[in-house]
Every structure is written in structure tokens, then in C-alpha cells.
Amino acid sequence: MASVQPTIDSASAVIPRHVAIIMDGNGRWASAHHLPRAMGHRRGAEAVRRAVKGCISEGVSVLTLYAFSSENWKRPADEVEDLMGLLRLYLRREIDDLHKNDVRLRFMGDVSKLSPDLQKMISRAETLTAQNQTLTLVIALNYGSQSEIVAACQTLAAKVAKGELAPDDITDDLLASHLQLSDLPHPDLVIRTSGERRLSNFLLWQSAYAELLFLDVLWPDFNEQTLKGAIADYQRRERRFGGR
């Protein structure tokens, strides 16, 4: 990815601070092109590069990508291994360009279940890019929103049991502060590709007031124009947050 500079003046148009994407359709793209599923995942990795470039150009602050859900372990072992190999390849090939473009890389999900070498690569990537500010790229790996919420509730319940917290002290904001990456803004826009119209256990709490956009485009075909169109759709909406 070549050096990218923002091109949109956010003062003249409402740009979503945080865009979250459920990247769906790699397998269907491969089937439509009479290619193995692994090739669909590889083309999907190229779409990640375009999404990052587009978010920088548009002035988006946070991009979260649903890369591997906690349910994806149910897929065939060879497909899971190919996805993990693709992640290794992405981290090796892209980290320098991400760093050069001032992208901070962060991960959410239970990465302790990943192989030791992947955990080391993730830690290195987060450390290397920790001070970058133009875009925060969050990759959700072995992530499930219901488990995330349960873990937050268990932490709060333990504090109540120890007498450190009263049940009435538990508020929306307090629970939210115990979710992963709670320092980041909640998504303004959640996009799902491939025509499916569900959140699939992705950022359920954080997306309570997000604008949802379901696109028929398959993820490997996602490009900067697709992102521009999604942001334009977002800008046409009136966000009320339950106020009227």
C-alpha cells in the first residue's frame, strides 16, 4: 500500500468515526469464479488493503474488521489453517506499510487460542504501531460478542461478590467500560457484504445505535468506491439515538 493521505474535509461532511465491517462472501466469490475457497480468502486479503486505504482517504478514525469468529473453528481444518496462514502472511507483508501510513494495529478476541508464533506476531505489530494516529485498524480474531459481554458481566459480578461494587452501581457505561478496547468509540457504521442481513455475534453491545448497511457485493470485490458509496449512504441518514 503506497503512502495515503486523507482527501475529505470532515468539516464539510459527516464522516463516520468508526466503521466496522463483517467481511463476508470469500467462499461464494471463489465458487463463482470456479476457484478453490483458499483463493477467495486471498482475494479477500487484497480487499482489506483497499478498505484501509479508503478509510485513510475518507478520514475515518477506526476500522474494525471481523476476520475470524469464535464459531469459525467449526470450519474444515484445512480452511482454518489456510486462514491462519493468510493472517501470518498479512502481518509479515503489510505491517511495514501500515506503520508507514501511520496506522495503529489492534486486535480483539481471545488471541490466546492462536498458535504461539501468531501471538508473537500480533504482539509485535501492536507494539510497533502503538503510537500511530491516522487510523486505528482493529482485527477481530477468535471473537464473539456474546462471550465478550458475558466476560464483562462476570468481572462485575466478581466485584459485587467481593463487596467492591454494589449491584445498583452497575450502569450501561460501567459495563461498556469492561468490554474489549473500551477506549475506542463505538461503531457509527456497520457494513456486511455478500447480501446476508445479520450481525453474526459481532459487536452486539457496541453497535446498539450504529447505522447498519447490508451490501450485495462479495468481500473480494469490495473497493474504495464501495466504501465511498457506503459513507454516502451513511451521510443521508438522520441519526436520532432514540431522542425523537
d(CA 209, CA 186): 9
**Which residues does the annotation mark as catalytic?**
24, 72
Q: Per-residue pLDDT tens for 35-76?
A: 999 999 999 999 999 999 999 999 999 999 999 999 999 999
Please check whether the domain covering 18-144+186-235 is classified as CATH 3.40.50.150: no
Backbone angles phi, psi at 235, to 5 degrees: -70, -20
The pTM of this model reads 0.91
**Lowest-pLDDT range of 5-9, 59-63, 130-134:** 5-9
Domain ranges across the chain: 18-144+186-235
Report the 3 state secondary structure along the chain. CCCCCCCCCCCCCCCCCEEEEECCCHHHHHHHCCCCHHHHHHHHHHHHHHHHHHHHHHCCCEEEEEEEECCHHHCCHHHHHHHHHHHHHHHHHHHHHHHHCCEEEEEECCHHHCCHHHHHHHHHHHHHCCCCCCEEEEEEEEECHHHHHHHHHHHHHHHHHCCCCCHHHCCHHHHHHCCCCCCCCCCCEEEECCCCCCCCCCCCCCCCCCEEEECCCCHHHCCHHHHHHHHHHHHCCCCCCCCC
Q: Per-residue pLDDT tens for 95-123?
A: 999 999 999 999 999 999 999 999 999 99
- Taking 70 as the threshold, does the pLDDT of residue 195 lie above it? yes
d(CA 107, CA 25): 22
Confidence class for position 6, pLDDT limits 50, 70, 90:
very low
Annotated binding-site ranges for Mg(2+): 24, 211
Annotated binding-site ranges: 24-29, 37, 41, 69-71, 73, 75, 192, 198-200, 211
